[in-house]
Amino acid sequence: MGGRAGITFRRTGFTLVELLVVIAIIGMLVALLLPAVQAAREAARRAKCQSNLKNIALALQNYHSARNRFPKGFVAQPETVEAWAWSVYILPYLEEQAIYDRLSPSEDFVIQVDANRKTKRNLADLFAAAKANIKEIDPVQIPIAIYRCPSDSTPDLMPWTGKSASAVYPRTYETGDWERRYNGAYSKQLPGEFLAPTSNYMGVKGLINSNCDELTGAQNSITGVGWVPDTLRCANNGILWGDSKVSMKKISDGTSKTFIVGERDSFCLSGTWIGVRNPYGPDMHSSIWSTGHVSIKLNFPFTGEADSCTEGFSSKHTGGAYFGFCDASVRFISDDISSETLYNVNSSTSNPNKINCFVVRDQTKKNSVQCVSEYGGVKIGVYQRLGWMNDGIPIDADY
């Protein structure tokens, strides 16, 4: 008996070369698809950011309907005393009534700061109470999703890495350092470092880079006894500033042509929804925790303690940022929008970091100097005019 002749066996597997070819093809397909997937994800994040701003702008409208005015940008309070901001007052209109009730915020500074006050209290009251009962700070450390742009990378609680702003000034890229520290007169008395909850949406206070001074000089800069705000100095030409009570009838340029809120990202140190550290204080530790001004260009490429994008508006979206308008519309503002780099007349126009602009109100007021552009003379860009509610030149964002 012999074996069966003529029988052949067929290969059923891949050769190594064939396998490598298949892997290479799959790799090429993944490389081609990955940018499309990432673009789709970013488009979804942008849409969510736009939706957040729409809801915030509608909440501001609802507040106006109830009070016949927009909320105060922040409560004017003395020196290093912490103060509530506009973003606290619209919480009931963002379906966050429970947090609002726990905060029980006063819309005016109640003299003097009192740790035992339970209703209509100052932000400083809450921190004073937390010194005895640390649980009091729980509601001011709650991350609120609608105040977060999903494209941004700031942690839910704004960190502080122990470096001063001057130690890393100026930055042109994100270094991992967080030099904005929320340590006002009462929050710094708490055990450990108080970390404020992040917000990426800042109220637009206008063109003026100004804090909110006292009128007569405080008898007690901490408690506020004897303190009176300088309403002329606090006033700005946007919508949300110190003790502002702006109604729509004052927006002579038109509600559809005036910013009310805009974005700020992690590169420019974001902000917080709870309020400002010290309305009357030095630059990045003052009202810019919850508001910004438009004398800083959109997505300005420098950060630092003062005169940088930490005072303005910025975003992680390529090409610009979203802004809410006073009519509750939301539009994407391009980096290419006409904008002037504004300088203090006493500073060198050759240094892009020396931006310190105040509109002339009263020449006797300290730091009240004329705005000039990098091209000389008083020339204000479209971006600046959109943040100015009554400059007399209504201009469209698409101009």
pLDDT tens for the chain, 399 residues: list them. Answer: 555 556 665 656 668 777 888 888 888 887 777 776 666 777 889 999 999 999 999 999 999 999 999 999 999 887 778 999 999 999 999 999 999 999 999 999 888 889 999 999 999 999 999 999 999 999 999 999 999 999 999 999 999 888 766 666 678 888 888 888 898 889 999 998 999 999 999 999 988 776 677 776 555 556 666 677 777 778 888 999 989 999 999 999 999 999 999 999 999 999 999 999 876 655 556 888 999 999 888 999 888 777 788 889 999 999 999 999 999 999 999 999 988 766 544 444 444 434 444 444 444 444 444 454 444 445 678 898 899 898 777 777 665
Instruction: Indicate the pTM of the whole model.
Output: 0.84
Provide the token pair at 193. Answer: 């470092």
CB atoms within 10 A of CB 65: 9
Residues, the chain: 399
The position carrying tokens 């001074």 is: 213
Sheet of strand 259-263: strand arrangement: 291-293, 201-206, 259-263, 320-325, 330-334
Distances (CA, A) of 362 to 11, 121, 344, 358, 366: 93, 33, 15, 11, 9
- How, if at all, do strands 259-263 and 83-84 pair? unpaired
Beta bridge partners of 206: 293
| Alpha-carbon torsion angle 182, 272, 282, 357, nearest 10 | 170
Q: Give the count of beta carbons closer than 10 Å to the beta carbon of residue 10.
A: 4
Domain boundaries, the chain: 37-333
Which DSSP symbol is given to 74? B
Q: Within 13 Å and on the Cβ side, how many CA atoms surround 161?
A: 11
Residue 37 near residue 44 (C-beta atoms within 8 A)? no
E-state strands within 93-249: 198-199, 201-206
* 3-state SS assignment for residue 332: strand
